[in-house]
Amino acid sequence: MMGAALTARAVAARLGGRQVLADVDMTLSPGSLTAIIGPNGAGKTTLVRVMAGLVRPEAGTVLFGERPLSALSARERARTVAYLPQGGTVAWPLPAADVVALGRVPHGGGPGTGRIDPAVAHAMRATDSEAFAGRAVTTLSGGERARVLLARALAVEAPVLICDEPVAALDPRHQLAVMGVLAAEARKGRAVAVVMHDLALAARYADRVAILAEGRLVAAGTPHEVLTPAMLAEVFGVASLREERPDGLLVLPWRPLAPEPGPLPPSV
């Protein structure tokens, strides 16, 4: 199964009567990390849910290799695309190792099979979460829990890995570490997609960047091609700094562009 691309073709989706995606094409290639960025409400989460087979598109198809994702059984699809939802919580105080072991469910495994699945051990090592394997996941800090949940997604060992904002809850060190893990998974031959807001991390770690705005794909290409000050000004309304460094591209949003995008909503 390793080695095929996950492709969205002319995908459209509607949520509660509102057009959320229109005519989006996207290819997640094996060996490549794609950052999906865009303003709030651009349709990023809907797009990755469609590509993970969790939302049926209104139009268009999603293909794994040559096969439509919708033709796969639920279990086959689960083994093909691993999906980490945004801001996940775990309902019960399960031990972290058991939560990670749930990633083996599509393979007929899971917690309590009596032996440690190598995929679980590997995923916990990769996310540096072994130290709290036996602790109840509800007692972990936000960052620790985010790593355990990422390990759960890694433990599926699917050829495609899609993560919705996996670094949002993490401190800088663990943001870098998690992006490093995802980049390493891509280098192993997986197709990895990451929804994110951090332009600097996208520039630093992504092989490809796709920008969504108002449900449409505005740009796709390498970080060098896409993360230009002109593009960021147009899509996000920000002025940005950009610097070519020997070890990578540095992109930083610097200040909002005039005119201001209106008054901020009252804080809650």
Q: Does 92 bind other proteins (CB under 8 A)?
A: yes
Q: Does 94 bind other proteins (CB under 8 A)?
A: yes
Residue 47 CB partners (closer than 8 Å, separation 6+) = 8, 11, 13, 21, 24, 26, 36, 212
Of 169 and 213, nearer to other proteins (C-beta) is 169
Q: Does 77 bind other proteins (CB under 8 A)?
A: yes
| Pairing relationship of beta strands 81-84 and 160-164 according to DSSP bridges | parallel
Q: Does 74 bind other proteins (CB under 8 A)?
A: yes
Footprint of other proteins on 146-165 (CB under 8 A): 149, 152, 156
* C-beta of residue 49 within 8 angstroms of C-beta of residue 8: no
Tell me which of 43, 103, 159, 215 binds other proteins, using CB under 8 A.
103
**Alpha helices per DSSP H over the chain:** 44-51, 74-80, 96-101, 118-126, 142-155, 172-187, 199-205, 223-226, 229-236
Interface stretch with other proteins, choices 24-32, 123-131, 165-173, 187-195 (CB under 8 A): 123-131
Interface stretch with other proteins, choices 9-17, 46-54, 225-233, 239-247 (CB under 8 A): 46-54
Q: Does 124 bind other proteins (CB under 8 A)?
A: yes
Q: Which contacts (CB < 8 Å, 24+ apart) does range 184-187 have? A: 184/126, 185/154, 185/161, 186/31, 186/32, 186/33, 187/31
Q: Does 253 bind other proteins (CB under 8 A)?
A: no
Residue 249 CB partners (closer than 8 Å, separation 6+) = 203, 204, 223, 224, 227, 242, 243
Tell me which of 16, 112, 262, 266 binds other proteins, using CB under 8 A.
112
Q: Does 49 bind other proteins (CB under 8 A)?
A: yes
Interface stretch with other proteins, choices 79-87, 194-202, 204-212, 217-225 (CB under 8 A): 79-87
Of 77 and 147, nearer to other proteins (C-beta) is 77
- Residue 96 CA to residue 132 CA, distance in Å, equals 7
Biggest CA-to-CA distance, the chain: 61
Interface residue list for other proteins (CB under 8 A): 49, 52-54, 73-75, 77-79, 81-85, 88-99, 101-103, 105-106, 110-112, 114, 116, 120-121, 124, 130-131, 133-136, 149, 152, 156
